[in-house]
Amino acid sequence: MFDLTEGININYFIPPMILLFVVPTVFVLIYAILFRRILPAKIFNFFLAAVLILGLYVWAVPMKLGLFEYFRATF
């Protein structure tokens, strides 16, 4: 039988995936706290996607710069 998870060690995979969920969520929460009452609903919702993409970018750049190796060495 073909095993797709043969080369993946789950201990190296989980911490970056947790951060993938946490970092954009924190960005969106901060944006919502700061701008929900100030901006009209259409403008707020329009920029919500941009803030989420920014959070994903902030997560992805350190992963490429070696944070993944840090997690591999730590866990």
pLDDT tens, residue by residue, 30-63: 999 999 999 999 999 999 999 998 998 888 777 6
Whole-angstrom Cα Rg for the chain: 17
**Predicted pLDDT at 66:** 67
Please indicate, yes or no, if residue 1 is contained in any of the structural domains. Answer: no
pLDDT interval class at 3 (50, 70, 90): low
- Give the distance between the most distant pair of CA atoms in the chain: 57
Please indicate, yes or no, if residue 4 is contained in any of the structural domains. Answer: no
Please indicate, yes or no, if residue 2 is contained in any of the structural domains. Answer: no
- How many structural domains comprise the chain? 1
- 41 vs 9, residue with greater confidence: 41
Query: What region does 40 belong to: left with phi over 0, alpha with psi -120 to 50, or beta?
Result: beta
Angle at 24 (CA atoms; ends 61, 6), nearest 5 degrees: 65
Angle at 21 (CA atoms; ends 52, 8), nearest 5 degrees: 130
21 lies in which domain range?
10-74
Please indicate, yes or no, if residue 3 is contained in any of the structural domains. Answer: no
- 12 vs 18, residue with greater confidence: 18
